[in-house]
A and B are shown apart, each in its own frame.
Chain A
């Protein structure tokens, strides 16, 4: 595809990924959060796809399809099941209230922008300039793991971190090797499955999916 179209679609997809990260902090209803996550997965796949087409790199295209499948379909479906099984599937009282955490996300975005400038200077490509967005996604993921109570939100935060890393990897080093990406995805998939089981058990034990309840496991 030609220059401007390539650039703008790439920027657009990276922007979508970042917005989805913000949406996970914005919305209280976990189902909406999971939807945002699915969209993010697809956008990530799209980024890989665009890069692959741009560089005529078949492996990268395969990776893109895998990413879309795992992060766009499988993981969200699993999480969706958990959410569906939990009637009180809302972040009713996050540790930091929503406006504050959104402002925090904005601050983190600026931080990411400032911190990645040296990296950007190293990679003078269209893709390289977008690295800050991936880094911001990563930071917002960490942040949402910190400020949210529900187990699902924790999983979502982890996935945001992973997506951020993946995006940075794609943009910085025109695509990671297939195996690495596969490994990462499977790794996360495993984590999700484990957490899903844990969540199910918590649900059966305490009837809530609130991490504060885990303290009770201690005694």
Chain B
């Protein structure tokens, strides 16, 4: 293939992954709401309801607090932009994503961190008590989740001798026993805890609370309206989808396209959608039967995640 064709192909793959993550992310939220309402004995909104909500939000008026600076408006934009970048470079549908060679797990974590930092700054720019409360809590939890995350990455990277995500996924395809290795499983276990914390799900944060004092993530976005809020909703759903996508691809990589070609990519997208949907349903079911932790019990949960990651690292060292 010529260079031009390569570029076109890469562009197509990138586009496919972006569309899947953005639209699919909103649908994922819809699915999770549907599961919740079923378990609560309700019919619940249709699965495409989040799409309708976002479409409407984009047609509404933007509102900024009087004293806010450009940072307030930049928050949601950067949130979505980081999610888009991660959607392009991470191995979701194929193990050969554009820029895949530099799709380092470490890099992806810090790109996502940029998104959450920008949202936290936007929240502080509102000049309201709620904004500060939300961003303080979110940043604290993020800071405590960080060690677990990086040690988990380390534990997964020791056997593979690299922290490059496509390679990690490909290794899972090549050597299934590497997935069953306790290092990988423990690391992914702590990764699950981190996903719950980072994406503000129960038991860390209640996404459907109306009481400001119990809010973590919701308190940061109370001030956003119209398109800004639409971007926040979009960005958050994309982040959840990305994290779950990475999780499932590291846990059950089968279906991911390992060779170029439209057909395998399409299969990969389908497999991704199926796996992520299952993960989402699992989380939603778990949420129905779980109560929110007290804010100061959250460190216990994250410390547990950290210990899982450390045990993973040690087992990786033991069996190396």
Direct contact between the two chains A and B in their complex (CB within 8 A): yes
Residues of A within 8 A of B (CB): 4-5, 7-9, 11-12, 14-16, 18-19, 22, 25-26, 98-99, 102-103, 105-106, 109-110, 113, 120, 129-130, 132-133, 136
- B303 — which chain A residues lie within 8 A by C-beta? 26, 98-99, 102-103
Q: Is the Cβ of B186 less than 8 Å from the Cβ of A15?
A: yes
Q: Which of B177, B185, B317 has most chain A Cβ within 10 Å?
A: B177
**Which of A8, A22, A98, A129 has the most chain B CB atoms closer than 10 A to its own CB?**
A8
Report whether A113 and B317 are in contact in the complex, using a CB–CB cutoff of 8 Å. Answer: yes
Give the top 3 A-B pairs by smallest Cβ distance, nearest first: A15-B182, A99-B303, A106-B310
* Interface class of chain B by DSSP: helix
Contacts of A102 in B (CB 8 A): 300, 303-304, 306-307
Q: Are B319 and A130 in contact (CB under 8 A)?
A: yes
Q: How many residues of B contact A (CB 8 A)?
A: 23
Interface, chain B (partner A; CB < 8 A) = 177, 180-183, 185-186, 189, 299-300, 302-304, 306-308, 310-311, 314-315, 317-319
Can you list 7 A-B pairs with a CB-CB distance of less than 8 A?
A7-B319, A11-B182, A98-B303, A103-B303, A106-B306, A106-B310, A106-B311
User: Among the interface residues A11, A98, A103, which one has the most CB atoms of the partner chain B within 10 A?
Assistant: A11
- Residue of A14, A103, A106 ringed by the most chain B CB atoms within 10 A: A106
A22 cross-chain contacts in B, Cβ below 8 A: 304, 307-308, 311
Q: Which residues of A sit under 8 angstroms from B177, Cβ to Cβ?
A: 4-5, 7-8
For A132, the closest partner residue in chain B by CB is B318
Contacts A106-B307, A136-B314 aside, 13 further interface pairs with beta carbons under 8 A come to A5-B177, A8-B180, A11-B319, A14-B182, A15-B315, A18-B315, A19-B308, A22-B307, A25-B307, A99-B300, A106-B311, A113-B318, A132-B318
